[in-house]
Every structure is written in structure tokens, then in C-alpha cells.
């Protein structure tokens, strides 16, 4: 971010341009100009940083912590960039909500190939293939859905677990699904 547009000249060159032309030949004035120019460069850099931290995508960890505590966001295991995106989504929203965005969020929580179906009939139905229900991932998903879905849309989260095994059918052994468990969590 360049607020001050002072990249064409250094602070020293700026200071010299304001004074008489013979001042840089005087050692004392040249030292004063160099120090003043260095000070101007430092102030401009610090102000650029300060203004940049006002924008979520440029914030450092300390500034992000304030927003994470304000919104009560989980931050364990997230990189700085992921934390910025999370805070950004809470402040500015996510734009239009779609099945692909919900599927992407579920994939982050439960892993690849975890979303089996997302349907919208009477309400939103999300079917997730998982080895077991994890409370932390479930709480994050519920928190996300409560935040991004309009209040008039209800939703059901369906966890599907499959148990496979060998079945003897006369002369052949088959690998097949023995049991399918569907758990609807409200």
C-alpha cells in the first residue's frame, strides 16, 4: 500500500530540495538533512504499516487476535492467511451462498470425498460420509451454517457411516455393505 507516494525520492533528497542549493556542501547541514531524511523515511514507512493494518488482509497476528476474540473464532492450527480469511468472512460476509461453498467448507472439516449430497427441498440437507462424528467439526459446521444461512432456511446434517464386509452367498464371497447408518443431527 502506498499512501504517501514518496518512492521517487528518498527523504534526504526531499529535504535537500527544500533548502538552498549550497547547504549540502556544508557538512553540518548535510548531516542534518541526512538525519531529517532518514526520520521522514521512517515515519512514512511506519504510517504505511499503520494504515495497512487497518485492512484485514494486511493485519498482523496481534491485530487479528482482537477480532478473533471479538467474534470468538477458533484459531488452532490455522495459518495467518487462513485466520485473515476467517476474520474477513465474519466482517464482510461470504457473498452469495452456494452448494459448492458449503461443500468446500465441509471438505475442509471432514476431508476429501466427505460430502455425498447437498439438497434443497423443504430445507437444506447436507449428507456427510464420515467414519465418526467429531464434536469439534460438527460445532464448527453448525456455527458456520447459523452464520451464513438466512434465518428462514432450516437445515439437517446427515452423517452416513458404512460398514463393509464379506458375505458368503452360496458359491461366492462378495465384498458388500453390511450396514448403513444414517444419523440426522439437528
**What pLDDT digit, counting tens, does each position of 167-185 carry?**
666 666 666 665 566 656 6
- pLDDT tens-digit readout, 20-67: 999 999 999 999 999 999 998 898 888 888 887 778 887 888 888 888
Verdict on whether the full-model pTM lies above 0.85: no
Sign of the torsion angle spanned by Cα atoms 34, 39, 40, 46: positive
Find, among 139, 138, 119, 118, the residue nearest to 130 by Cα.
138
- Cα–Cα separations (whole angstroms), residue 167 to 161, 164, 176: 19, 9, 7
Find, among 95, 89, 121, 115, the residue nearest to 103 by Cα.
115
Amino acid at each position: 500500500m502506498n499512501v504517501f507516494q514518496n518512492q521517487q525520492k528518498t527523504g534526504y533528497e526531499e529535504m535537500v530540495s527544500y533548502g538552498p542549493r549550497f547547504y549540502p556542501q556544508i557538512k553540518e547541514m548535510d548531516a542534518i538533512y541526512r538525519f531529517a531524511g532518514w526520520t521522514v523515511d521512517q515515519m512514512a514507512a511506519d504510517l504505511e504499516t499503520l494504515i495497512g493494518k487497518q485492512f484485514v488482509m494486511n493485519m498482523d497476528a496481534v491485530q487479528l487476535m482482537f477480532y478473533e476474540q471479538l467474534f470468538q473464532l477458533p484459531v488452532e492450527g490455522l495459518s495467518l492467511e487462513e485466520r485473515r480469511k476467517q476474520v474477513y468472512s465474519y466482517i464482510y460476509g461470504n457473498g452469495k451462498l452456494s452448494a459448492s461453498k458449503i461443500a468446500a467448507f465441509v471438505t475442509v472439516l471432514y476431508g476429501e470425498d466427505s460430502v455425498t449430497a447437498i439438497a434443497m427441498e423443504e430445507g437444506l440437507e447436507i449428507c456427510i460420509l464420515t467414519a465418526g462424528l467429531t464434536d469439534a467439526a460438527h460445532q464448527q459446521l453448525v456455527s458456520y451454517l447459523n452464520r451464513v444461512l438466512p434465518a428462514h432456511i432450516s437445515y439437517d446434517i446427515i452423517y452416513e457411516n458404512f460398514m463393509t464386509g464379506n458375505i458368503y452367498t452360496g458359491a461366492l464371497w462378495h465384498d458388500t455393505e453390511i450396514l448403513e447408518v444414517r444419523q440426522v443431527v439437528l
